[in-house]
Amino acid sequence: MIAPVLSVQRLSVRIGAARILDDVSLAVPAGGTLGVVGESGCGKSTLLRAILGILPRGAEVPGGAVLFGGRDILADGGASARGRIGFVPQDPYLSLNPVFRAGDQILEIMRRHAPGTRRDHRARLVELFRAVQLPEPEAALAKYPHQFSGGQRQRLLIAAALCCDPALLVADEPTTALDVTTQREILALLQGLAAARGLALLFVTHDFGVLASLCESVTVLYAGRVAESGPTRDVLDDPRHPYTRMLLACHPDRATALAGIPGTVPAATAQPDGCRFHPRCPLARGDCALDVPQPVLHRGRVIACPYHAEALPEVALA
């Protein structure tokens, strides 16, 4: 087992009465790719913020740690991670200030976090623009954000994420706003960059297709807890947690695509006791409402359900 570059250990986060994350653990091995999937309200964005060391004001961390390079990011307010974790945001249109040149905005990040002179930075940035395959990398330095297409902006943001030579790239649904052909190019680019630079990737997504093509392993979140995690292929081919099974059954590539999951994701302020999925789960029984399911190891996977070996009733997938 390679030492993880990032490891989140039994992290819990609360904001007021809302229990956003509860006992979440995951690890990204050096050079590895991990996908985090889950629906709205599962705590994805709070997890991202914790990893980037930018938890919102008022967030409490009753327990757990986010270890990056052996140091706890939460303990020093993200200072040790700054510049060492590159972040690719979701919306390329909202993430650049339209009144400044795109190049200058990235150079400003480098001025603050990367060693070297402005001249070095410019040279490095042109190199990066070339690496992310922006057309005319020298000329791109002088352009404003609106002069780039959506796909090119996402390339710019990837260059920005790489500008301080990070060990880990964290991407928050970086292709949701893009067309499929552009999405394919961006995913290929991320994959190529990660391989060439030995980068580890943490990919937050709700698209299982993207996950399948990009990530070696996956962590499925539900209502602030890990439902299931393991190698992507295994999880997609044979999901074990009832939530993962029912969620995957909703994928339009599956014949059961219109099945759905009864009920809705609970609000973070009204999480049910015991297993958080039990009110919606066809396998639920008395103790599910009482005890928090302990994660079980099953063929290289961690599954937070003691009944994962049972078959789902047919009606649940109809």
Partner 1 sequence: MPEILGARELVVALGGGRRGLLGRRTAAVRAVDGVSLSIAEGETFGIVGESGCGKTTLARTLLGLQREATGEILLDGRRASGRAPPAARRDRAAVQYVHQDPGAALDPWWRVGATMDEGLRIHGVRDAGQRAARIAEMLEAVGLDAAMAVRYPHELSGGQQRRIGLARILLLRPRVVILDEPTAGLDLSVQAAVLRLLRDLRGRFGLTYVFISHDLSVVRRVCDRIAVMYLGRIVEEGSAEQVFAAPRHPYTRALLAAAPHLDGRASTAPPLTGDPPSLRAVPPGCRFHPRCALARAECAVTPPPTDTVAAGHAVACHRWRETVDAPEKVPA
Asked if 184 interacts with partner 1 (CB under 8 A), we say yes
Strands (E), the chain: 4-15, 18-29, 33-37, 59-68, 71-72, 85-88, 168-172, 200-205, 217-222, 225-231, 296-298, 301-303
| Span near partner 1 by CB under 8 A; candidates 105-113, 162-170, 175-183, 287-295 | 175-183
The phi-psi region of residue 119 (left if phi > 0; otherwise alpha if psi is between -120 and 50; otherwise beta) is: alpha
Residue from 11, 248, 268, 305 in contact with partner 1 (CB under 8 A): 248
Residue 264 contacts partner 1 per CB under 8 A: yes
Among 21, 208, 219, 295, interactor with partner 1 by CB under 8 A: 208
* CB closer to partner 1, 6 vs 261: 261
> To 10 degrees, what angle do helices 102-113 and 118-131 make?
120
Q: Give least dist CB 105 to partner 1, A.
A: 24
Q: Is 179 in the site for partner 1 (CB under 8 A)?
A: yes
Does 288 sit near partner 1 (CB under 8 A)? no
Among 18, 109, 259, 296, binds partner 1 (CB under 8 A): 259
Stretch that binds partner 1, among 66-74, 80-88, 204-212, 290-298 (CB under 8 A): 204-212
Question: Degrees (nearest 5) of the Cα angle 37, 301, 175?
Answer: 20
Cβ pair 52, 29 in contact under 8 A: no
Distance, in Å, from the CA atom of 288 to the CA atom of 42, rounded to the nearest integer, reads: 19
Name the DSSP class of 213.
H
Q: Closer to partner 1 by CB, 111 or 251: give it.
A: 251
Q: Which stretch binds partner 1 (CB under 8 A): 15-23, 182-190, 271-279, 297-305?
A: 182-190
Under DSSP, is residue 104 helix (H, G, I), strand (E, B) or coil? helix
Instruction: Give the whole-angstrom CA distance, residue 284 versus residue 281.
Output: 5
Cβ atoms of 276 and 241 within 8 Å: the answer is no
Token duo for residue 111: 């001025």
User: Among 213, 273, 289, 290, which residue sits at the site for partner 1 (rule: CB under 8 A)?
Assistant: 213
Residues 57-86 that bind partner 1 (CB under 8 A): none
Decide if residue 188 touches partner 1 (CB under 8 A).
yes
- Give residues in contact with partner 1 (CB under 8 A): 39-40, 149-151, 176, 179-185, 187-188, 206-210, 212-213, 232-233, 236, 246-248, 250-255, 257-261, 264
